[in-house]
Amino acid sequence: MTADIAPDDQQLTGKVAIIAGAGALEGGIGNGRAAAILLARAGARIMAVDRDMERAAETVEMITREGGEAFAHSADMTEEADCEAMVALAMQTYGRVDVLDNNVGIGSSGSVVDEVLENWERVMRVNVQSMFLTTKYAVPAMIDSGDGGAIVNVSSISALRPRGLTAYSASKGAVISLTRAMAMDHAADGIRANCIAPGPVYTPMVYGRGMSDAARAQRRAASPLGIEGTGWDIGNAVVFLSSARARYITGQTLVVDGGITVAAPPRDPNI
């Protein structure tokens, strides 16, 4: 057994994690909220950041109810001043930053012909610019902390399997390339950068828009495993990539999709 890798329940003890997009609708468990809770269970102290302070505070309440340590902060990750202030507050509060988990994102649909410039720019701003800005300020803080760090960016299988969501697919493809660039740029600083590409997981962002039982069953059947992914599956991947168990992994995209990209039929536009 490798001596420098802690047991599962201690693998992130003493670390500080910023979760960008830590809220969720209606008390549900989205990717960011799941990551925040699971990182806290692994011992990390959490800065739960969301544009909606009430949602961030709800995540913190879930963490502290289990005995974890966390605080909530409201920020718009597409605004540079907000990202700079967010990292500064983490340093002021905890004196270090070790993990940055970037979950902020929005969807879109339609081809390049259907898309309008205003929405294209909005999707790129939210899905790509947010990760550029949060990382721009988190990396120097990780270096100052002295132990390197881990960046986990959330992309999508839509980057790997385009399916009628052109602006979204392009933005999520940019996230993968951005992650690889970060991995190369900051490897010498001891900072690892990896990406998660979720499949169609069942989260508040999905069911908040409305989804029939039949559509949900069809999504489940699309997986060769015949099961449904949730925010917890993405959160567990974040914990792994943030921990010393992933110490030799950087610049990679971890697909968490139940095998859908291996065997899925063409996308049904109704799901």
Q: Indicate which residue of 94, 168, 202, 207 is catalytic.
A: 168
Q: How far is CA 247 from CA 17, 214, 219, 224, in A?
A: 17, 42, 34, 30
* Other C-beta atoms lying within 10 Å of the C-beta of residue 254: 18
User: Do residues 255 and 152 make contact, with C-beta atoms less than 8 angstroms apart?
Assistant: no
In sequence order, the β-bridge partners of residue 73 are 49
* 158: exposed, middle or buried (Cβ count in 10 Å: 0-12, 13-18, 19+): buried
φ, ψ of residue 71 to 5 degrees: the values are -145, 155
Distance (Å, whole) CA 62 – CA 23 = 11
168 among known catalytic residues: yes
Q: How far is residue 265's CA from residue 221's CA, in Å, rounded to a whole number?
A: 10
Q: Active-site residues: which are they? A: 168
